[in-house]
Chains A and B, each alone.
Chain A
Amino acid sequence: MLPIAEIETVMVQPSLDSAFSDSRSPDTAPLLEFDQVGLEYPFEGTMRRIIQDVNLSIKPGEFVSFVGPSGCGKTSILRMVSGLNPAPIGEIRYRGKPITKPLNNVGIAFQNPVMLPWRNTINNVMLPLEIVQPYKREHKQKRAEHIRMAQDLLATVRLQDFQKQYPWQLSGGMRQRASLCRALIHQPEILLLDEPFGALDAFTREEMWSMLQALWMRVKCVAILITHDLREAVFLSDRVYVMSPRPSQIIYEEIINLPRPRNLEMELSDEFNHYFSSIRRHIHHN
């Protein structure tokens, strides 16, 4: 079982607040709006509808999950939000503006925790600071501060003793924790998670939920999680969307009103299981 208290103590260290002071104004206007979003793919000479009529909006600081049968285009939704593949039908608006090219204040973590093998853990985590403004501009002068930011994040996921290790010296779970730190170090407004724990064993996965929650609560960004694991979705999310088989639509929305920070004990509660089973009932296989 994970010592949640330990993570919380790390979170309230005063040094963190200076490094992670949140300059964004707390507004309630939606950060992301999906407007009739759809996706088609050419298949055997005809265009096949993969996704249709997705309408929803996400406010700053919300944690939203998409669950559904495999092949229902969940990953495509993430790629459309990130702007790596902008929505071909309908539009997704970021602060009111349609997303047409890659947004640059996004953090991404995939199932494969791609790390640069020639960099040790801390330098892998600091990669975004060398690319994203304003950190890039200040990277030389503020290097010590940037290192501290990375160390703080690594401590949150209990990797403080593995800063100098290279990726091949870490386990799969450790690499994924490091890649979450990398996704968050530049304080993105949007964190995109594409089945980040899909390749991990059940115990490691549950540990990762708590760590991800701790990280996310520090950075206070919008998080969008794609997952097959309904418990994971309930544990982490404010809202869970259930997608139907192709052509994929949102068929169910569940608002999770569990207090935060959530812990693994809650998984056994009736409330948690109520959320779980009502989502489960809406999953239809292809």
Chain B
Amino acid sequence: MAATKLDRFLKSKSAGFILPFVATIVLFVVWELAVILFKIPAFNLPAPSSIAQATINFAPQLLANSLRTLWTTLLGFVLAVGVGVILGFMIGYSRVAYLTLYPLLVAFNTIPKAAIVPLLAIWFGANAIPATVTAFLLAFFPIAVNVALGLDTVEPEMKDVLRSLGASQVETFQKVGWPHTLPYIFASLKIAASFAFIGAVISESVASNAGLGYLIVQATADFNVPLAFAALLLLAVMGVVLYTFFVFVEKKVIYWAR
């Protein structure tokens, strides 16, 4: 009987919220106890309680820098969606574009973006632009690849059905290409959102005047490790929120995908 109850709980909607929440609490409790038990100094690993304390003490700074990271990330992400989707369609639909652009994109994607940030700082200065551009650079590639993949995986029989009905290219795209590609786009958006955060923070920690990445570098320079951890946790929270948002939209838009 206990097993069936557990099964029912695992299938319920609330399990998806309760279990991660409990896991987080357990993690923090174990962490807190470990720090007390092994007498770990705060500048090595601060206890969750001192991170919470730092969060309260530095709330204005944390808030201002979070907002900066959030908007640079989102702006870079939106640009990445636009450019990624267009590039994906070009690669997916045009053999010429595929042969020409794809190797270049792969080569470019292999370059560590942290290495580009100093260049961006020289070009644009230590401000929000390098962070936005880095977020964009990290995020557009998975989107472009997934859109191209989505277009490429339409069943040939389905294309034949449409062609034999005399459907135009545009109609084929409307009726089949676009809806078929949507699940691929959503899968890539979830990845790209995390990538955009990573890009923005890398850039902020190398060349910026604000943002959580900048705050983390400043805090560690001052040996204010609890503040650095507070910033890290905030980043994680923002990442989860954005991811959850896309999952929610995805479920609404492509309810039919299994």
B256 to chain A minimum Cβ distance, whole angstroms, is 4
Question: Does any Cβ of B come within 8 Å of A108's Cβ?
Answer: yes
Query: Does the CB pair B164–A114 fall under 8 Å?
Result: no
Q: Report B-chain residues with C-beta under 8 Å of the C-beta of A131.
A: 162, 165-167, 171, 175
Report whether A104 and B175 are in contact in the complex, using a CB–CB cutoff of 8 Å.
no
Distance of B247 from chain A, by nearest CB (Å):
18
Cross-chain contact B258 with A112 (CB below 8 angstroms): no
Q: Which of A104, A107, A118 contacts B166 (CB 8 A)?
A: A104
B96 to chain A, nearest CB (A): 23
With contacts A116-B176, A117-B258 known, is A104 near B157, CB below 8 A?
Answer: no
Interface flag for B179 (CB, 8 Å): yes
Q: How far is the CA of A182 from the CA of B234 in the complex (A)?
A: 53
User: A225 to B162, alpha carbons, bound, how many Å?
Assistant: 20
Q: Cβ of B167 and Cβ of A114 under 8 Å apart?
A: no
> Which residue of chain A has its CB nearest to the CB of B176?
A116
Chain A proximity of B252: nearest CB distance (Å): 13
In the complex, B29 has a CB within 8 A of chain A:
no
Q: Which residues of A contact B167 (CB under 8 A)?
A: 131
A82 at interface (Cβ–Cβ under 8 A)? yes
Taking CB atoms and an 8 Å cut-off, the chain B residues in 152-179 that contact chain A are 155, 157-158, 160-167, 171, 175-176, 179
Q: Which positions 26-43 of chain B face chain A at CB distance < 8 Å?
A: none
Do B175 and A108 touch across chains, with their CB atoms under 8 A apart? no
Does A243 reach chain B (CB closer than 8 Å)?
Answer: no
Contact A127 B164 (CB under 8 A): no
A17 at the interface (CB under 8 A from B): no
Assess the B155–A114 pair: CB atoms within 8 A. yes
Q: Does residue B254 face the partner (Cβ distance < 8 Å to A)?
A: yes
A110–B158 Cα distance when bound, in Å, is 10
Give the B-binding residues of A (Cβ under 8 A).
Answer: 82-84, 102-108, 110, 112, 114, 116-119, 127-128, 130-132, 166, 168, 182, 186, 192
Query: Which 7 residue pairs of A and B lie closest in terms of their CB atoms, listed nearest first?
Result: A104-B166, A118-B256, A114-B157, A114-B158, A131-B165, A106-B164, A110-B157
